[in-house]
Structure 1
Amino acid sequence: MSAQKVPDGTRADWLADRALRGLIATLMRLPYDTRVAMMGSALRRAIGPLTGYRKRAEDNLALIYPDMGVIDRRQLAEKCCENFGRTIIENYSWEEFGQRLSTTEATGDGLSALAQAAKTQRPVIFVTAHFGNHEAPRHVLTRMGHTIGGLYRPMQNAYFNDHYAKTMTSWGGPVFAQGRRGTMGFVRHLRNGGFGTLLYDVSAPGARLPFLGHPARTSLSAAEIALKLDALVIPYFGIRQPDGLSFAVKVEAPVRPASPEEMLLEMNARLEAHIAQHPEQWFWVHRRWK
């Protein structure tokens, strides 16, 4: 395959995308429970080790938990890869995923503030992380009658992103790709009293703030936009349950308005609390500490 045929990515990206497309297409023919379990197993046993995801997770765990034994790090990294795989196929299976969440009730101290914001048409920015399944809360709150847009970061593999992005735009409110144009669209959506969600736990230009005890590049966009628009900032999380298929959806109390840095520190603290309880559910595969 010539370089001219892959202007937006490498040959390795193209090959990786072909393999993932084939796997996803095959799994989508299977019953939902089987599909989710098999994708989790594939990431844990084969794809994670081959792509370097497991190694990166182990390296990050060694940084954050230097006293953790090698065997424990390996096991935790494998569980992380399994959650990653389950999340991918759940989001491709968005219709069935939504049906599975049809009886899930959101809980948490942020629900009353959310109801008041909806009543007064005050913008809301939901902030969440690559933890459990970050789309679970959006499904549940959409079922409750809220229209929730989003601002997402395109994947580095342009081929995979081309079809993965469609899973996020197939339902719910308007979803925008990060960048000047996407951010402007996201802000317009909020300014009209809309709700939107942002993931804030990846390395991005901004400030170097402590996260799990080490400085990490952190975007301040969520706080800056919220302060500009007088929007509520409400953390929410989809926490995978022991059966591997169901979720608890937690809608937390709004983050107190302060400087952008202070608000992000509080958001980091909220996520750190969840990681302490369920470390295998955070995506340690990301290059969080560059």
Structure 2
Amino acid sequence: MKFLLGLLAALPLRIGYALAGVMFLLLYYLFRYRRNTVRDNLRWAFPEKSAAERKEIERASYRHFCNLFFEILSSTRMRQEDIAKRVTFKNIELLATATENFEKQAIVLLIHQGNWEWMLHAAMLEIGVPIDPVYKTLHSTVWNQFIFDARSRFGASPMPIERVGREVIRGRRRRRLIGMLADQTGPKAAGYWRNFLNRPASFYRGADKLAQTLNIPVVFAKCRRVKTGHYEVLFEEISLPPHDANPELILERYVLAAEAAIAEQPETYLWTNRRWKKTPPDSFAIQQQEHIAAVEADSSIRERNP
């Protein structure tokens, strides 16, 4: 498996895209890879769309998924400068201001949309500061090591989510940004539960607590596909120190920003993920009432969701 991944990574990207077309036909039509999962996710996320509209998003998402597979593989061999040519940052000044010209740490929240791997590599070159990504250990040890090696190529120090609190606090004096793909499934008991794309979902309670503990800003990075192999990134302020006393507001603003980004370009989101496989705890309804009462007073949330 490792040899095969290395062999595919060595192919020119244009050949990778050609193979991605074949991969799409195999996954979508022959093997029907997670078709029911994707279809169910889209049905819940976009009940206002017609079945034909959702099917169009479904097919486009599989095409993007296959292209993304080869793009991530190629990132293990591409020069950082070549990756940066394919990623444009529209308002990097917002991130610069939040971190006082990158002299202070910040948490950058992402979602599985666009090409988050290229975005991290390109941002590091653009700003000249390491971005240490938090990762959730994959079930496949080969693929997990492959992704780890790819993310650490240009000086980043990936951190497993199980040790993120300890690692971040230990390196709190380092000049760096902390990247979190925060739309991953959180724990059932200790997670932050709220409706995400019309269904209950659990989020890790990490970004909110770390931001308050270290008194550092939180920024959302939205990655849009401009055309095949080219992306643009826009930053959005989530919370700046001093943070609100209610840490849930950080996660709530993030979820709203994530939902807006997905609605804008749904075909580039990772719909194959079994994001909603956990059932909410019995206290979910009470938790919803409590956090709704707290966020109703937050002006920044009202601006995003009038």
Fold conserved (TM > 0.5)? Answer: yes
Kept in 2, the 8 Å contact 1:151–1:186? The answer is no
2:264 to 273, 277, 280: 277
The alpha-carbon distance between structure 1 residues 127 and 120, as it changes in their structure 2 partners (threshold 3 A), is: closer
CA change 1:171–1:100 in 2 (3 A) is closer
Q: Which runs of 5+ in 1 are unaligned?
A: 1-17
CA contact (8 A) 2:86 2:230 kept: no
Partner-residue secondary structure (3-state), 1:253: strand
**Are the counterparts in 2 of residues 152 and 198 from structure 1 also a CA contact under 8 Å?**
yes
Of 193, 200, 206 in structure 2, the residue corresponding to residue 221 of structure 1 is 206
1:187 corresponding residue in structure 2 = 169
User: 1:137–1:237: 8 Å Cα contact kept in structure 2?
Assistant: no
Report what 2:27 is aligned to: 47
Greater than 6 Å deviation, 4+ residue runs:
none
1:261 to 217, 229, 248: 248
Quote the Cα distance in structure 1 between the aligned partners of 2:62 and 2:79. Answer: 19
| Residue 65 to residue 150, structure 1, CA distance change in 2 (3 Å) | same
- For residues 117 and 229 of structure 2, the distance between their equivalents in structure 1, rounded to whole angstroms, comes to 13
User: For residues 207 and 35 of structure 1, do their structure 2 counterparts lie closer, same or farther at Cα, with a shift above 3 Å needed?
Assistant: same
User: For structure 2, which runs of at least 5 residues remain unmatched after alignment?
Assistant: 278-306
Q: 1:280 offset after TM fit, Å?
A: 0.3
Task: Say whether residues 1:139 and 2:115 are aligned partners.
Answer: no
Show CA shifts across 1:3-36 (max 9, x none): xxxxxxxxxxxxxxx4x963x4453343212313
How far 1:37 moved relative to its partner? 4.5
Q: Distance in 2 between matches of 1:166 and 1:100?
A: 16
- Residue 227 of structure 1 deviates from its aligned partner by 0.9
Aligned-residue offset at 1:106: 1.3
Higher mean displacement: 134-143 or 111-120: 111-120
Counterparts of residues 138-157 of structure 1 (less than 5 Å):
138-144=120-126, 145-157=128-140
Aligned pair count reads 267
Q: Which residue in the other structure is 1:232 paired with?
A: 217
Instruction: Indicate the residue corresponding to 1:79 in structure 2.
Output: 60
Cα gap change, 1:36/1:211 in structure 2, threshold over 3 Å: closer, same or farther? same
Comparing 273-282 with 42-51, greater Cα deviation is found at 42-51
Percent sequence identity over aligned pairs: 21
Choose the corresponding residue for 2:144, options 136, 149, 161: 161
Question: What one-letter code is carried by the residue in structure 1 that aligns with 2:216?
Answer: A
CA RMSD of aligned residues (A): 2.6
**1:134-165, CA deviations, whole angstroms, 9 ceiling, x for partnerless residues?**
12332232112121111111222333223232
The answer to whether the Cα contact below 8 Å between 1:204 and 1:218 also exists between their aligned partners in 2 is yes
Q: CA deviation at 1:183?
A: 3.9
Query: Alpha carbons of 1:65 and 1:100: their partners in 2 closer, same or farther (altered >3 Å)?
Result: same
Q: Partner letter of residue 89 of structure 1?
A: F
Q: 1:187 to 1:42 in 2, by over 3 A?
A: farther
CA distance 1:201–1:266, change in 2 (3 Å): same
Q: Which amino acid aligns with 1:135?
A: E
Deviating more after overlay: 151-160 vs 279-288: 151-160
Instruction: Answer whether contact 1:202 1:287 (CA < 8 A) is retained.
Output: no
Query: Could you tell me how far apart the structure 1 residues matched to 2:130 and 2:218 are?
Result: 16
Moved more, 72-81 or 265-274: 72-81
Is the CA contact 1:125–1:233 (under 8 Å) kept in the aligned structure 2? yes
Provide the C-alpha distance between the structure 2 equivalents of 1:169 and 1:232, rounded to a whole number of angstroms.
23
Deviation per CA, 1:188-245: give whole Å up to 9, x if none: 2344343110011121121211212222111121111111101111111221113x11
The 1:89/1:120 distance shift into structure 2, 3 A limit, reads closer
Alignment CA distance shift 1:116-1:275 (3 Å): closer
Change (3 A) 1:48 1:197: farther
